[in-house]
C-alpha cells in the first residue's frame, strides 16, 4: 500500500511509518518540522528508541520510506493517511485538537475520493465524528486506529501488537485497514472492529486503568512507609492473586511521559463536558502529582535544610530506553531542589540534551553517574537505567560528602550491604 503519515517526524508517526515500510509498504513521512525531515533523510532519527534507526535506514535504502515536508506530495501519492500529531493538554486539561483538525483539513483539501483517513493520535470520543462533519460532501472514509506503543519498546509493539483496534463506519475502510494489518495479524494478534467513538474511548480506558493501578500501588507503598512494612513483600504476596498480577505494580516517584499525565485529565474533562464527574480518575491524577514529591520529601525529612547540599540525580527520562522527559518525575524534584538552594548534578545516558533545553544553566550536567556523585550529599535514583543497577559502592563511598541513597525505583536489593558500607538508604515503601 501507499501510506502517508501526517506527523511523521514525531514519536508515534515515525515508529508507525517505519514499521509499515519494513513490511513492504511505500510510506511518506510528512512533517512540518524541516529539521526532523532533514535528519531523517540522512538516516538519523530525532528521538531515542531502540531499533528505530535501523528500520528507518532500511526503509530509506529500499526506497520504501520517503521523508517529506511537502503535504501535497504525501497525500496525492497515497491511498491512506494516518494522523499522528500531538494532542497537548489545554489550560483545563482537555485535549487540544488544533493539530489533528489542521491535519484532517489538509487531507480533505488534497485527497482524492475514496481516500481513507485514519486517526492514530489519542483523541477524545467523538473526534472522528467531528472530522466527518468537515468533509463537505467529499468522499473520504474516516477511521480510528489508536496506538498502543510503549516508549522503549515501541518498535517491538508496532511489529507485534497485543491487539489492533479499528473504529470504522464503512466496510471499505475496514477492508483497507484489515489488508494493511495482514502482515501483523500473521502473529495471531486479535483485531477488534468497532465504531470510531468506541475505538477512541478504548485508548483512554486502557491508559486510565493502568494509571489507576500505578497510583494505587504507590499509595500502598506510602502506607507501608508509615507502617514500617516492606512494600516489596506485601506487593509480591498481593500480586500472586491472578486477578491482580504484577504488571504496573512497582512503587516509584509517579508516572510520567507523554500519555498518562495528559490522557487522564483529558478524559476527566471530556466526561465533565457530558455531565459526569469521574472522581476516581481525578484522584488518580492528583495522587500521581503528589507522588512526584515523595523523593524530595524524603530528602527534606532527612536533611532538614537543603540549601548548599549537593544532590546527584541519576536518571532524568521518565523511563529507561527513551530520551523523553515529558512530565518526568525528575522535573519537579529538580525544580524543588533549585528552589531550596541545593546544587543539582544530573546524569542520564540519553536525556541530557532534552534536560539542557529545560533547565539551561540552573544545574550541572555530569558525563557519568560517578561525576554526578562527586562531593554529593545524596544520590537520588529516578530512572532504572541498566547502567545504574550495579554501581561501585566502595568507589562512591570515597567520593561522596555524605552517604545517602534515595532509591526511587527500589532497584537496590542488598540493603544490608549498603548499610555495612555506611550508606543510609531510603526506598519507596522500604522504611
224-239 core/surface letters (b: 16 or more CB in 10 A; e: else): bbeeebbbbebbeeeb
- Cα-based angle 98, 262, 192 (whole degrees, multiple of 5): 85
239 is catalytic: no
Contacts of 128 (CB under 8 A, 6+ apart): 119, 142, 143, 144, 167, 196, 197, 199, 200
- Tell me how far apart the alpha carbons of residues 239 and 222 are, in angstroms, rounded to a whole number: 17
Burial class (CB in 10 A: 0-12, 13-18, 19+), 431: middle
b or e along 367-400 (b: 16 or more beta carbons within 10 Å of the residue's beta carbon)?
A: eebeebbbebbbbbbbbbbeebeebebeebeeeb
Which residue pairs, CB below 8 angstroms and at least 24 apart, start in 51-60? 51/155, 51/156, 52/14, 52/15, 52/18, 52/154, 52/155, 55/18, 55/19, 55/21, 55/22, 55/155, 56/14, 56/18, 58/21, 58/22, 59/18, 59/21, 59/22, 59/27
- Candidates 224, 239, 259, 380; catalytic one: 259
Closest CA to 30 of 58, 71, 65, 60: 71
Dist CA 167 CA 144 (whole Å)? 5
Q: Which residue has the cell 491508559?
A: 207
Handedness of CA 74, 200, 13, 7 (dihedral sign): positive
Joined grid coordinates for residue 251: 512503587
Closest CA to 373 of 353, 352, 392, 357: 392
Return d(Cα 315, Cα 5) in angstroms, integer: 32
List the catalytic residues: 259
Amino acid at each position: 500500500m501507499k501510506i502517508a503519515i501526517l506527523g511523521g517526524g514525531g514519536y508515534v508517526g515515525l515508529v508507525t511509518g517505519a514499521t509499515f515500510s519494513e513490511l513492504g509498504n511505500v510510506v511518506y513521512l510528512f512533517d512540518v518540522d524541516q529539521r526532523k525531515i532533514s535528519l531523517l533523510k540522512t538516516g538519523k532519527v530525532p528521538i531515542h528508541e531502540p531499533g528505530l534507526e535501523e528500520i528507518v535506514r532500511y526503509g530509506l535504502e529500499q526506497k520504501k520510506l520517503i521523508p517529506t515536508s511537502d503535504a501535497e506530495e504525501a497525500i496525492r501519492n497515497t491511498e491512506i493517511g494516518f494522523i499522528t500529531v500531538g494532542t497537548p493538554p489545554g489550560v483545563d486539561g482537555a485535549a487540544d485538537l488544533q493539530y489533528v483538525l489542521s491535519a484532517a483539513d489538509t487531507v480533505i483539501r488534497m485527497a482524492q475520493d475514496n481516500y481513507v483517513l485514519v486517526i492514530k493520535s489519542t483523541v477524545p470520543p467523538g473526534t472522528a465524528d467531528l472530522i466527518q462533519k468537515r468533509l463537505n460532501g467529499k468522499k473520504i472514509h474516516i477511521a480510528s486506529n489508536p496506538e498502543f506503543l510503549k516508549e522503549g519498546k515501541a518498535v517491538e509493539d508496532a511489529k507485534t501488537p497485543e491487539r489492533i483496534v479499528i473504529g470504522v463506519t464503512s466496510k471499505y475502510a475496514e477492508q483497507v485497514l484489515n489488508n494493511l494489518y495482514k502482515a501483523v495479524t500473521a502473529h495471531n494478534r486479535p483485531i477488534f472492529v468497532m465504531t470510531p467513538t468506541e475505538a477512541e474511548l478504548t485508548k483512554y480506558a486502557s491508559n486510565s486503568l493502568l494509571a489507576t493501578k500505578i497510583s494505587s500501588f504507590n499509595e500502598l507503598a506510602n502506607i507501608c512507609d508509615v507502617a514500617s512494612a516492606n512494600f516489596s513483600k506485601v506487593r509480591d504476596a498481593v500480586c500472586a492473586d491472578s486477578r491482580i498480577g504484577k504488571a504496573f505494580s512497582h512503587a516509584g516517584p509517579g508516572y510520567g511521559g507523554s500519555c498518562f499525565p495528559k490522557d487522564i485529565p483529558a478524559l476527566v474533562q471530556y466526561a465533565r463536558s457530558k455531565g459526569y464527574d469521574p472522581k476516581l480518575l481525578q484522584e488518580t491524577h492528583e495522587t500521581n502529582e503528589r507522588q512526584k514529591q515523595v523523593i524530595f520529601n524524603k530528602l527534606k525529612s532527612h536533611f532538614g535544610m537543603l540549601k548548599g547540599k549537593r544532590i546527584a540525580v541519576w536518571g532524568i527520562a521518565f523511563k529507561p530506553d527513551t530520551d523523553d522527559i515529558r512530565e518526568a518525575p525528575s522535573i519537579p524534584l529538580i525544580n524543588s531542589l533549585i528552589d531550596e538552594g541545593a546544587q543539582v548534578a544530573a546524569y542520564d545516558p540519553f536525556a541530557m540534551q532534552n534536560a539542557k533545553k529545560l533547565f539551561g544553566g540552573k544545574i550541572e550536567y555530569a558525563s557519568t553517574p560517578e561525576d554526578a556523585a562527586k562531593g554529593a550529599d545524596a544520590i537520588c535514583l529516578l530512572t532504572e537505567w541498566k547502567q545504574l543497577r550495579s554501581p561501585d559502592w566502595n568507589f562512591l563511598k570515597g567520593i561522596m560528602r555524605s552517604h545517602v541513597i534515595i532509591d526511587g525505583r527500589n532497584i537496590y536489593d542488598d540493603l544490608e550491604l549498603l548499610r555495612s558500607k555506611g550508606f543510609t538508604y531510603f526506598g519507596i515503601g522500604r522504611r
